[in-house]
Amino acid sequence: MIFKQGILAALLCVALAAFFLPAKAASNIEVRAGFIRAPHMREMLSILDIPAADDGLAGATLAAEDNNTTGGFLGQTFAIDDVLLRPGDDPAAALSGLIQRGVSLVLADLPAAALLALSDSAKGKGVLIFNTGAPEDSLREENCRANVLNIAPSYSMLADGLAQYLVWKQWKRWFLIKGSHPEDVLYAGALRHAAKKFGAKIVEERTYEDTGGGRRSDSGSVQTQRLIPVATQNAPAYDVLVAADESEVFASYLPFRTWDPRPVAGSAGLRPTSWDGSHEQWGAIQLQNRFMKLASRRMNARDNNAWVAMRMIGEATSRTGSSDPKVIRDYLTGPDFAIAAFKGQKQTLRHWNQQLRQPILLGDGRMIVSVSPQEGFLHQTSELDTLGFDEPETKCHLQ
């Protein structure tokens, strides 16, 4: 309980080590953050989602620019050392190269297994890793690591954010359709867990097998229009079709083609995400404008995760006057850290697994429909902790 009965007009006057910063600060800190990234799949159902060459990187670059504006008043500069892995490249070798160049703060947009290998290879080397891509809960739970801060939301946070809204809408009977790849199964598991947690019921669950083949053809919609109704027919009465398709095999084919006229959510339709190019509230339009100017495209969730990670580095450096990864980690995981990231409330780190607390946006790719946590889902410390695994249930032991 943070609010004690009896303390009515509570006040905390904190005596502070005051900051006085002259107009041009003398201290000189140069921060070079590494960015190790693997190319993302280009086989997307919608051509709008095919990643750009600077996917993710552009977000970090923008944050470095923002940090440099602030750094101009503090004598601090920020730069990115970008390492794009090719198929077969070893992330650990990439990290060794960065360490040799004096880099100890590293953003990583990698698949979960590669990220875990990276963090284990970095153990004892004074490196702090920011996970900006991998949503696997295992990285926050049984495989959590002290040298990894998780900026991207987990599958369970995304699923819980979606579930709260669907339950608020009273769309409680779900038809869950999942893909056949391991990531699809993980996302489906998070959705199943969310349904149970918030009182929805999965009345039907099916697997949509990936039988191979490409995404592009000149007359694809003709076949799709026949396939999807069949794949979704004969279901018991349901309110919403929830899809778990991390592999881009079928989910975007679902809206408007289901056997029963039902809304689609999850991997298509109403999607939970940490960011979307259509998000504009809480000053977000300023960030969107800056990003468009820099990258000539809209900011996606991976760009935004990287922006937040690089801003956290800037924030920690400006507050502590240090770029030492230990000092940065202590500040970011400590009680004084909070970052403003255009989602309506402060974002902080869960001390038990170093996951960034954050609202989850729900949008169709053109508009933001709602933002979770939804009103009425209460929590004793932070309503943001209604999203994802909470402290009492965590399996994480940081090491």
Partner 1 sequence: MPFAMSRRERSKVSPLASTVLALNALAFGMASPAGAFTAYVSNEKGNSITIIDTDKMEVTKTVQVGHRPRGIALNKDGSELFICAGDDDLIQILDTKKLSITGTLPSGADPELLILSPDGKLLYISNENDNLVTAIDVATRKIVAEIPVGVEPEGMELSPDGKVLVNTSETTNMAHLIDTETHKIFANVLVDARPRAAQYTPDGSELWVSSEVGGTVSVIDAANPKIKQKIAFEVPGLSKEAIQPVGMRFTQDGKKAFVALGPANRVAVIDTATKKVEKYLLVGQRVWQLALTPDGKFLYTTNGVSNDVSVIDVASLKVLKSITAGSFPWGVAIARQ
Tell me the HSE value of 293 on the side-chain side, using a 13 A CA sphere.
Answer: 8
Q: Which of 7, 47, 53, 230 binds partner 1 (CB under 8 A)?
A: 7
Asked if 22 interacts with partner 1 (CB under 8 A), we say: yes
Number of residues that bind partner 1 (CB under 8 A): 43
Q: Which of 384, 387, 389, 396 binds partner 1 (CB under 8 A)?
A: 384
Asked if 322 interacts with partner 1 (CB under 8 A), we say: no
Asked if 311 interacts with partner 1 (CB under 8 A), we say: yes
Q: Which of 60, 274, 383, 396 binds partner 1 (CB under 8 A)?
A: 383
What does 179-195 look like in DSSP terms, one character per residue? ESSHHHHHHHHHHHHHH
Report CA-CA distances (Å) from 81 to 11, 64, 203, 283.
44, 11, 49, 29
Beta carbon nearer to partner 1, 73 or 256: 73
Q: Which of 315, 328, 355, 365 binds partner 1 (CB under 8 A)?
A: 315
Site string for partner 1, 339-378 (x = CB under 8 A): xx---xxx--------------------------------
Report CA-CA distances (Å) from 397 to 176, 349, 382.
32, 15, 21
| Residue partners of 47: CB distance under 8 A and separation at least 6 | none
State the Cα angle at 365 between 284 and 44, rounded to 5°.
125
| Residues paired with 77 in a beta bridge | 30
Binding span for partner 1 by CB under 8 A among 148-156, 165-173, 236-244, 379-387: 379-387
| Residues paired with 360 in a beta bridge | 372
Q: Which of 12, 26, 53, 230 binds partner 1 (CB under 8 A)?
A: 12
Tokens 């991390």 found at: 246
Positions touching partner 1 (CB under 8 A) are 2-3, 5, 7-16, 18-23, 66, 69-70, 73-74, 283, 286, 289-290, 311, 315, 318-319, 338-340, 344-346, 379, 381-384
